[in-house]
Amino acid sequence: MRRRNACAGLLLSGAAATSGGAWAQPAPRRVGVLSVGDTPRDIPRFLAELRLVDGRDIAVDMRSAQGRPETLPMLAAELAALWPAVVISLGPQATDAVLKAYPTVQVVALLGSAVESGHVPQLARPGGRLTGVSFLGSTLNGKRLELLTELLPKGASVMNLGDGSLRSAPFLVDQLGQVSRGLGTATHNVPAATAAEIDVAYATAARLRVSGVNVLASPFLHAQRERIFKLAAKARWPAIYQWPQSAREGGLLAYGPDLQTMNRLLAEMAVRVLNGTRAGDIPLVQPKRFELVINQATARGLGLALPRTLLLRADEVVE
C-alpha cells in the first residue's frame, strides 16, 4: 500500500510540473494585426514561411475596421489588452490608434508617406518604436494623375478623391497641385472620410463636370473600392486606383506596388522585432517595383478606347 501511494505521489508531482512548473511550455508571443479594410490573411502565411507558425510559435490576433475607421481606437484597445510583442498596422489611422492605445508596443506599419505624415523623422533612422514600409504614396498619387490624363481629352478636368482624415492630406494636395500645373490639367480636390461622403463627392464632381477620377492613396478608400467602382461605372468616368488588385477586381486602371509584397515585407520586419531588434533601429523600406494594371473589360463597359501606347506599357491587361 505504501509503495502504491508513493508511485501515485510521483505521478501527481510530475503532472504538476508539466502543467504549471518548470517543464511547462512558455506561452507563445502574440502578434497583433490591425487594418482599416480587408483583413490581410496572407500575413500569418508569410510569418509561417519565416518559421513562426500561428498557434505553435506565436499567436496572431487580427482585427479589421471593415472600412469604418472610427472603430479603430476600440480595436486597438482590444489588441493592447492581449499584450502583443509587436503590432503590424496597415495605414496611418491604424498606426495612430495602436500607438495611442499601447504606449510601449513595437509597431511595424504600412504607410504611404511616413515622413510627411509625421510618423518618423527620417526613413533611415526612424527611432522611437516604429518601423515599416513607406510606399511613396504622395509621389504615386501624382504618377497616377499623369497616367489618367493620357485617357482624357485636352482641357478635361479631374477629381482627386482623397481621404481628408489623413494627417498628410495637406501635403498631398500641395504636391498634386504642382503635378497638375505641370500637366496643364485642372483638378478638383474632394475629400471623403465616410461612405456617404464618397457619394457626395461624386455628386460634387458631376456639378464640376469632371472627366475622370484619381483615387488617392488611402486605406479607407481602398476598403470602399467596390462602392467607387459602381459610382465610376454609373458616371461613365475613367478612374485610377492605388493597388494593382483594384484593376483586377473591376477598376479601370491601377498603378502602384503589389500589396502582397508589402505585407511580406511587414512580416519580415515583425520577425526581426520578435528576434530582439528594436523597431526604431530598423530602417523603413520602400518598394522598388510598381505595376500598371489595365482592365480592358471595364474599358469596354465605359465605351473607352485605350491608347495603344498605354497598353504596351502595362504590366498586366485584364481581358
**What superfamily in CATH does domain 137-256+290-318 come from?**
Response regulator (3.40.50.2300)
Is 0.85 topped by the overall pTM?
yes
Query: Could you give the maximum distance between any two Cα atoms of the chain, in Å?
Result: 101
The number of helices, as runs of H, and strands, as runs of E, in the chain is 13, 12
**Residue 144 neighbours by CB under 8 Å, 6+ apart:** 214, 240, 241, 242, 253, 255, 256
**Pairing relation of β-strands 212-215 and 291-295?**
unpaired
Q: How many CB atoms lie within 10 A of CB 100?
A: 13
Instruction: Return d(Cα 95, Cα 88) in angstroms, integer.
Output: 8
Pair type for strands 291-295 and 253-256: antiparallel
Query: What is the CATH topology of the domain spanning 29-135+258-281?
Result: Rossmann fold (3.40.50)
Burial of 6 (0-12, 13-18, 19+ CB in 10 A): exposed
**Backbone φ and ψ of 262, nearest 5°:** -60, -45
For position 169, what pLDDT does the model report?
Answer: 66
How far apart CA 299 and CA 265 sit, in angstroms, is 33
Q: Name the residue ranges covered by the structural domains of the chain.
A: 29-135+258-281, 137-256+290-318
pLDDT along the chain (319 residues), means of 10: 42 42 71 95 97 96 95 98 97 96 96 92 96 93 95 92 79 79 91 95 96 95 96 97 97 97 98 97 96 97 94 96
Report the alpha-carbon distance of residue 307 to residue 271 in Å, rounded.
44
